[in-house]
Amino acid sequence: MSVNKEYAFDWIENNKKRIIEISDKIWKFAELGLIEFKSSALLANELEKHGFRVERGIADMPTAFVATWGEGKPVIGIMGEYDALPGLSQKKVPWKEPLETGKPGHGCGHNIHGTSGMAGATAIKKAMEKHKIKGTIKFFGCPAEENFSGKVYMVRDGYFNDIDAVISHHPSTMNEVSLMSSLAVNSVKFHFYGKASHAGASPEQGRSALDAVELMNMGVNYLREHVIQDARIHYVIEKGGDQPNIVPPYARSWYYVRAPERDQLEFIYNWILDIAKGAAIMTKTEVKTEFLEGSYNLIPNRTIAELIVKNMREIGFPKYNDEDLKFAKEIAKTITPETKIAQLKKSKRPEWEKLVDKLIDDEAPDPWGEGEVSHGSTDVADVSWQAPTVEFSTAAWILGTPAHSWQAVAQSGVEIGRASLIFAAKVMATTAIDLLTNEDALNKAKEEHRQRISNKEYKSPIPLNHKPPLDVWEK
């Protein structure tokens, strides 16, 4: 390990207590997307304390920020998220028990995600300062990944325009760097307006908005036969009426529409818009479409992915004491062997069978998944269209843990998650220093990025006049 990387590594190790303290505070805050006021401020203030210039409230989001240190090229970006999920409140115990019933919880480990990025960026800055490394480091505080794709607004408004490469980290059950792409997505609500009347005495006077929602859903379900295999369409009925003896004058559905490429998505999405109009015509109601957000498919980068895996192996994987392992084993009792095997198999990780009898992942395979498509979506994808971008994972949870679960919340607040946090910060710092000090590696990553995008053009899926839904949790 070079002296530059050793310095960053040592800074993280020497400041481990403070880094964990910040992660634990964000775990406790558990704030929803776009209202992560305490979490965002904690990270921004910490970076400011270490000499970063912080611009707050960017891209029309009060909890979004960018922290910058250094000047000139290359410019390396580090990303962090800090939004929680609704209804996942959970104590730090290996059984299901909420802190506050119905409250949010960090079921995707974003308390770790934001803090690992902050710690990594700070360690990079310390090494650059100590060893006179040229360039700029930027930490992007990214709100609302779970629901409203905060990064897409930041991309649209130009905050990633000058970046040479971007590194991000996400808690998971594995130490891995995937070369899979992701699905592009649109999130949209359909509001149907009809006419109320007595459903028994004068139904002929009514126009049912609920009928329109149901007819639309039926039309979309028939559409499924005629879309590409990797497309995904899912919905909920958010509002269906008040009581059975009133013809519903208003009803609302919420759709996610996904496909591997943005043009494929737009084709399916426009067809669904036509189905909504048809449902309104059939029921003599009116429909209004509320576009919420959209994102692109992910562009992977093998060059940076291989650097990350190399650094993972060089740093060495976390070790756990008997108390940590006891907690992990208790969590494991809540996850069936069938669930664990299904998750491992679905990951398509090479030799996944070897992990079936393991409790915690303690190795990192070579990057895998080239040419494959993950059926999830992420706003990291839009960043990946601007510059070479890789989001790697570290084992913050035992193998088999489902994301967005109480098990993930519990582990994100204890030693298993904390060890992953420190490990990830070291991996981010050392990889960024590689890109800052090895011009050939950075140029290779950039050339690969150009070849993967080829002649495709990025056009923001979010219109310029579209604002983040800051009042969404008040509705």
Q: Is the pLDDT of residue 373 over 70?
A: yes
pLDDT band at residue 469 using 50, 70 and 90 as cut-offs: confident
> Collapsing DSSP states into helix, strand and coil, what is residue 38?
helix
Strand partners, 169: 392
pLDDT for residue 472:
73
Q: Kindly report, residue by residue over 403-461, the tens digit of the pLDDT.
A: 999 999 999 999 999 999 999 999 999 999 999 999 999 999 999 999 999 999 999 99
CA distance 176 to 327: 23
Q: Are 268 and 231 in contact (CB under 8 A)?
A: yes
> Collapsing DSSP states into helix, strand and coil, what is residue 393?
strand
Query: Which residue type does 239 have?
Result: K
Residues 449, 451, 454, 460, Cα dihedral to 10°: -10
* Size of the chain in residues: 475
Average pLDDT on 390-397 reads 98
Q: Are 88 and 31 in contact (CB under 8 A)?
A: no
Closest listed residue to residue 125, CA positions, set 182, 54, 231: 54
Q: Kindly report, residue by residue over 179-220, the tens digit of the pLDDT.
A: 999 999 999 999 999 999 999 999 999 999 999 999 999 999
Average pLDDT on 50-74 reads 98
pLDDT band at residue 147 using 50, 70 and 90 as cut-offs: confident
Beta strand 250-259 pairing with 65-71: unpaired
Q: Kindly report, residue by residue over 80-108, the tens digit of the pLDDT.
A: 999 999 999 999 999 999 999 999 999 99
Architecture of domain 184-295: 2-Layer Sandwich (3.30)
Q: Are 304 and 78 in contact (CB under 8 A)?
A: no
Sign of torsion over alpha carbons 86, 89, 92, 97? negative
Exposure class string for 145-179: b at 16+ Cβ within 10 A, else e: bbbbbbbbbbbbbebbeebbbbbbbbbbbbbbbbb
Per DSSP, 83 falls in state -
User: What pTM did the predictor assign?
Assistant: 0.94
Per DSSP, 134 falls in state -
pLDDT for residue 471:
83
Average pLDDT on 359-382 reads 94
Angle between helix 3-14 and 415-437 (nearest 10):
150
Q: Is the pLDDT of residue 359 over 80?
A: yes
Q: Are 307 and 431 in contact (CB under 8 A)?
A: yes
CATH 3.30.70.360 residue spans of the chain = 184-295
Residue 8 structure tokens: 């960053």
Q: Are 372 and 351 in contact (CB under 8 A)?
A: no
Mean pLDDT of the chain: 96
Q: Is the pLDDT of residue 327 over 70?
A: yes
pLDDT band at residue 376 using 50, 70 and 90 as cut-offs: confident
**DSSP alpha helix (H) spans, 50-109:** none
Which CATH superfamily does the domain covering 3-182+297-453 fall into? Zn peptidases (3.40.630.10)
Q: Kindly report, residue by residue over 55-66, the tens digit of the pLDDT.
A: 999 999 999 999
Nearby residues of 473 by Cβ (< 8 Å), 6 or more positions away: 32, 34, 35
Q: Are 368 and 349 in contact (CB under 8 A)?
A: yes
Closest listed residue to residue 77, CA positions, set 157, 135, 19, 134: 135
Q: How many CA within 13 A on the CB side of residue 204?
A: 0
pLDDT band at residue 274 using 50, 70 and 90 as cut-offs: very high
Q: Kindly report, residue by residue over 279-291, the tens digit of the pLDDT.
A: 999 999 999 999 9
pLDDT band at residue 475 using 50, 70 and 90 as cut-offs: low
CA distance 390 to 446: 12
Q: Is the pLDDT of residue 306 over 90?
A: yes
CATH 3.40.630.10 residue spans of the chain = 3-182+297-453
pLDDT for residue 343:
93
